[in-house]
Amino acid sequence: MTKINFGGAQFGVNAQPYALPPYQYRNNEMFTLKVETDRNCLKAMVPEPLTINAENIMVIYVGMLHVTEPTQISYGEAGIMVPVTLGDRAGTFMPILYLDEVELLTAGREFWGFPKVRGDIFIQRDEDGVAARVTEGGMDIINMKMDFEREGEPIPVYDREHFLLKSIPSVDGDGYDIRQINTCKVRDDKRKEILEGQASLALSSTSRNPLGELPVRNVVSAVYTVGDILLDRGEVIHDYLAGSS
């Protein structure tokens, strides 16, 4: 079918709605806290057959990310990651992400199943420390601060993966058309700057975001990094609808 192009926007059966991965990122700023929380809360956020970590750890991060290929987009992102395993595979499950850029919000949800929703992201770093917050409807739902105390130890370049629950409801409202656990491969993770210190964290709730209900037992560690990654395609590793009619 012929594509119609109006000022760069394409329409047609085979039109590509957004640039497909892999995505190359350069000089991402990431402020990351490792937090001890309640095991029952983690169980409520993580679907079986994934197994949550024994230490009851979740990771909360806020960052400014910069895609350089195959398109050029900078945006703010924040979210929660839970260290999990599936058999002999280890990774992180992501129950919620906040994003302030529409194209990658849509692409991330449709392609991998990232649970992305709209949020306003702010992060500011100076020579003494870093502060970050996420707002929804004008209210802070994540607020993090850290004073820099030391440089972190260099980390060799490595690969890792996220586990994601991709759910597409059926149009008739009865069940799902797609419900599966996918992976997203993070390749060539290179930390070019690592700064550590003591951090504070405050979580608050809105009618749509119950983050304030998550218990924070202890902030285990805090780190600010600048680095590069390649966000690559993945695979389906568990299909809840397999064999169903």
Q: What is the pLDDT of residues 120-138, one digit of tens each?
A: 999 999 999 999 999 998 8
Q: What is the pLDDT of residues 73-121, one digit of tens each?
A: 999 999 999 999 999 999 999 999 999 988 888 889 999 999 999 999 9
| Residue 8 falls inside a structural domain | no
Q: In which band, very low, low, confident or very high, does the pLDDT at 30 lie, cut at 50, 70 and 90?
A: very high
How many domains would you assign to the chain? Answer: 1
* Mean of pLDDT values over 230-236: 97
| Residue 9 falls inside a structural domain | no
**Which residue, 107, 19, 34, 118, is CA-closest to 70?**
19
Assign residue 184 the CATH number of its domain. 2.40.400.10
Which residues form the domain of 45?
18-239
Q: Global pTM?
A: 0.92
Locate 236 and state its tokens: 């389906």
* Mean of pLDDT values over 29-45: 97
Q: What is the amino acid identity at position 83?
A: P
| Residue 245 falls inside a structural domain | no
Quick one: pLDDT at residue 10? 61
| Residue 10 falls inside a structural domain | no
| Residue 13 falls inside a structural domain | no
| Residue 47 falls inside a structural domain | yes
| Residue 2 falls inside a structural domain | no
Quick one: pLDDT at residue 105? 87
Q: In which band, very low, low, confident or very high, does the pLDDT at 15 lie, cut at 50, 70 and 90?
A: confident
| Residue 147 falls inside a structural domain | yes
**Which whole-number Å values give the CA distances from 70 to 18, 21, 103, in the listed order?**
10, 8, 13
